[in-house]
Amino acid sequence: MLQSVKAITCLLLGAETLEVRTAVKQLGDTLRIVNDKVYDETKFIQLMDDFQNAMENLCNGVRNLITMYCATFHVTFSPSGAPARCREIKEVTQSLENILVHIGSVHRIPAHIRHRFDHFKVIVSLYYAGKKVIEHTDTDVYSTLENPLTGDTIYFDQWLELTDFPMCLVPLETRVVFTLCSMNTSQPVGGSGSNVPHKWNNIGWVAFMLFDFKRNVTQGGKLLSLWQGVANPLGATCSNIFQPNTTLLQVNLTDFGFDLRFPAALIDSAQLHRPQLGGGGTNPHIPDGDLKELNDILSKEDETLNSENKEFLWSRRSMLRNTPEALPKVLLSAPQLNYTGTGVVHPV
């Protein structure tokens, strides 16, 4: 059984996840106890229960690994199992919980990285429109690389909480960005006796959208293939599956037991009947003062808009539905993009 599990993990890019590793250890420990001693019937029944529990955990771990592999890479097979059940749907605006991310393990760290660096950590950040939403959160620093065959794996097994930013405040287009960093502490920076602090180096990064195409919060385990270099918050929101032997990061997001969905945009029907700025910047139904102010603001460069211009433009945004070139300025004038703001931004 254990050899079969090892073979499966080797076939699936050598990614022996923390869940599989823990289950293998649990099963091995149980078998050693059973083989070492003779027990009375009660104790033996307890050990058999432990054995069955370990087997179930191992099967679940392997199934979850295959599921993550199938979701990450373009394959022609999928794990068999019970059909997906309909889950309750709740709006994310009802959730006051912070985002929790479990950093499980990092696999296939390149040999030249393993030989050059001796400390590693993972940074988790939230970005919206290319800007960091809150301060990033780091894992503890790890230096032990494990893997019976290659020694290229780090098991972090750490939950990170992104504080001061509950789910109800998260914009729809939020990206979760992971960065794997390394440091070499064996040699002082600047030569012997130098007090210059060591610097962290970026090994790779990967990002994904917090909300999927159905507007549901991403939940459960993910196997992510890293891109090389410094994180690009405006870059790809998918794994680097096109290059062989890339470093893999296994993470888990909280499974709430139900779907958390971003609310649909509400359009005020009364706004649809307001007069619109027409071709040439005219409309006899718009007051002359508003008309002149709108045309003046729309003729300005985006970076020259002051707070009064933005406030006026935002309050008159429903008059600009027939003026698509005004959209960048309208979005620039939007209030803070929390759950109360995005509800009016998306109809725009």
CA distances from 65 to 36, 55, 257 (A): 32, 15, 20
Cα gap 100→9, rounded to integer Å: 27
pLDDT value at residue 137: 92
Same domain, 135 and 119: yes
Question: Residue 240, CB half-sphere, CA atoms under 13 Å: how many?
Answer: 18
CA distances from 235 to 124, 229, 243 (A): 16, 12, 16
CATH number, domain with residue 242: 2.60.40.150
pLDDT value at residue 193: 54
Answer whether residue 79 is part of any domain: no
Cα gap 103→123, rounded to integer Å: 10
Q: Which residues pair with 125 in a beta bridge?
A: 177
3-state SS, one letter per residue, for 61-130: HHHHHHHHHHHHCCCCCCCCCCCCCCCCEEEHHHCCCEEEEEEEEEECCCHHHHHHCCEEEEEEEEEECC
User: Of 229, 261, 293, which residue is a domain's last?
Assistant: 261
Domain hosting residue 310, numbered range: 269-345
Question: 3-state class of 50 per DSSP?
Answer: helix
Per-residue pLDDT of the chain (348 residues; tens, 9 = 90+): 778 888 888 777 778 888 888 888 888 888 777 766 666 667 777 778 888 888 898 998 888 888 888 888 777 777 766 556 678 999 988 888 899 999 999 988 888 888 888 899 999 999 988 888 888 899 998 877 776 555 688 999 999 999 888 888 888 889 999 999 998 877 665 555 555 567 889 999 999 999 998 999 999 999 999 999 899 888 888 888 878 788 999 999 998 889 999 887 665 555 555 555 655 555 556 777 778 888 888 888 888 889 999 998 888 887 777 788 888 888 888 876 554 555 566 666
How many domains in the chain?
3
Residue 110 tokens, joined = 């390149």
Same domain, 102 and 249: yes
CA angle, 249 as apex, 165 and 16 as ends, to 5°? 130
At residue 239, what is the residue type?
Answer: S
Question: 3-state class of 34 per DSSP?
Answer: helix
pLDDT tens for residues 191-223?
Answer: 555 555 678 899 999 999 999 989 999 999 999
Same domain, 309 and 341: yes
- Number of helices (H), then strands (E), belonging to the chain: the values are 8, 12
pLDDT tens for residues 98-113?
Answer: 999 999 999 888 888 8
pLDDT value at residue 159: 94
Cα gap 170→182, rounded to integer Å: 30
Same domain, 140 and 96: yes
Question: 3-state class of 326 per DSSP?
Answer: helix
User: Of 209, 226, 261, which residue is a domain's last?
Assistant: 261
Cα gap 172→151, rounded to integer Å: 39
User: Of 198, 231, 261, which residue is a domain's last?
Assistant: 261
pLDDT value at residue 218: 92
pLDDT value at residue 273: 52
Taking the mean position of all CA atoms in its chain, how far away is CA 338?
19
pLDDT value at residue 138: 93
Taking alpha carbons only, the member of 180, 176, 171 closest to residue 101 is 176
Same domain, 226 and 284: no
